[in-house]
Amino acid sequence: MKVLLVRPRPHKETIGLQNVMICEPLELEYIGTYLKQLGHRVSIVDMILEDKPISYFIKKQDPDIVGITSYIAQVNVVKRYAKDSKEISPAKIIVGGVHAEVVPEDFESPYIDFVLKGNGLKSFGEILHALENHLSTQSITGIASNHLPCLKETSFTYPHPDRSLVATYRKKYYYMFHNPCALIKTSYGCPYDCKFCFCREITEGNYFCRTLEDIISELKSIPEEEIYIVDDDFLVNKDRLLKFCNLLKSESINKKYLIYGRADFIASNEDVMAELSRQGLRAVIVGLESGNEEELKKYNKKSSVEINEIAVSVLKKYNIECYGSFIMGIDWEKKDFDILYRWIRKLDIKFINLQPFTPLPGTEIFDQYKDSLLIPRKDYEKWDLAHLVVKPSKMSVRAFYFNMLKIYYKITVHPKNSIKMIKQYGIRENFKLSIGAFKITLQYIKKIIRGR
């Protein structure tokens, strides 16, 4: 069968991180590779990097199947794509992705034929087999509408992604200063249980890893020097990480890495961080979340302010950038923003991500806040971890966004940080990132003017 896989572009109301990062659609590459091995013809269109409407690609390629991936902020975009497709083509529409797996009912639409709630690669292949052979799809456990128990996979034995499927776009994939940048995933799920986090819901608390030999084999096949390891948490098992470093060394793999990692591991495993640095680790995205002990307990982070500070100092010692992520509480007032700013300055972090507290549908804490939502559930495009979705209790929406922007600019435009970034990454890359950041700022200014 002829299959068109689609990554949707963000809705205009979604605050656009695509202005500072566009990563390859790894999940579509995995599905595309798997389907090709089953004998299907597959192509991928990345709508983030295309100007034409989805109807253009449907008409041009005339697929039998259209598969669309999605996060929560793209639900309405996906539904529109499905409607546009059905108006010009009989192609079956299959929707998957992390939000579909956890909250499949959000994709209910007369224009969507199948929503995958689990084991996406296998389920996609089973649907195509059934359609091709005129068989019923009602016994496929991964289809949400079948309402069958779906035992999530706890191992990964699929082929390496065929990156040639996005050959047209590859040079345009980047993550801030990591440019061009390729993705690789070495493990699935997360062994921790932070209350606000969506990751653990996807694998129902399961955590499992690929073999290191398989990972090394894939790394050898990737031409890009910059590698973003998109595990929910790469820093879990000390022995595994040291073996990984030894294999990088013995196989003479010289690349630069960006990873996710927890502060408590970094703080208590300085020897591992030192070795990772020697093997190319350049940056770690760390969920520092808060400089307030009570807030860390509320989020069930199982960390502390002291541990966070030690972690940042360890990264600094080994010349590893800390991309600090922080959650701004809905009960905050101006003094809390000022405290956060002073703490970030104390930590001497120049890359920060500030997120309003967001109880995502499907997480443990959503029900606690569903009656005090500022943004309706169906306005999916604003559930982007950048909008205020719950009404702040001690500030206006305008004041909240204003204080958030103020921290961003006091940190990123600080002369010391600006000089460091220009020296490290050059004027051209800094200018490019500044343009992207300015576009995001304009979106926030509109929110401040509207007061919502």
Average pLDDT of the chain to the nearest whole number: 93
The answer to whether the CB of 25 falls within 8 A of the CB of 96 is no
Structure tokens at 144: 């949400």
pLDDT at 200 over 70: no
**CATH architecture group of domain 163-450:** Alpha-Beta Horseshoe (3.80)
Interatomic CA distance for residues 297 and 303, integer angstroms: 8
Structure tokens at 49: 């990097």
Note if the pTM is more than 0.75.
yes
The answer to whether the CB of 151 falls within 8 A of the CB of 195 is no
Interatomic CA distance for residues 393 and 431, integer angstroms: 37
When mean pLDDT is compared across 89-98, 149-158, 420-429, the lowest value belongs to 149-158
Task: Name beta bridge partners: 208.
Answer: 188
What pLDDT, in 10s, does the model give residues 231-283? 999 999 999 999 999 999 999 999 999 999 999 999 999 999 999 999 999 99
Taking residues 98-127, what's their average pLDDT? 95
Interatomic CA distance for residues 192 and 302, integer angstroms: 9
pLDDT at 35 over 70: yes
Angle between helices 305-317 and 334-347 in degrees, nearest 10:
30
Taking residues 197-211, what's their average pLDDT? 77
What pLDDT does residue 178 have? 94
Interatomic CA distance for residues 20 and 4, integer angstroms: 27
Phi, psi of 363 (to 5 degrees): -95, 165
DSSP of 302-369: ---HHHHHHHHHHHHHTT-EEEEEEEE-TT--HHHHHHHHHHHHHHT--EEEEEE----TTSTTHHHH
Q: How confident is the model at residue 196 (pLDDT cuts 50, 70, 90)?
A: low
Structure tokens at 176: 């801030």
In the chain, where are the structural domains located?
2-146, 163-450
Taking residues 180-207, what's their average pLDDT? 80
Residue range 2-146 forms a domain whose CATH class is alpha beta
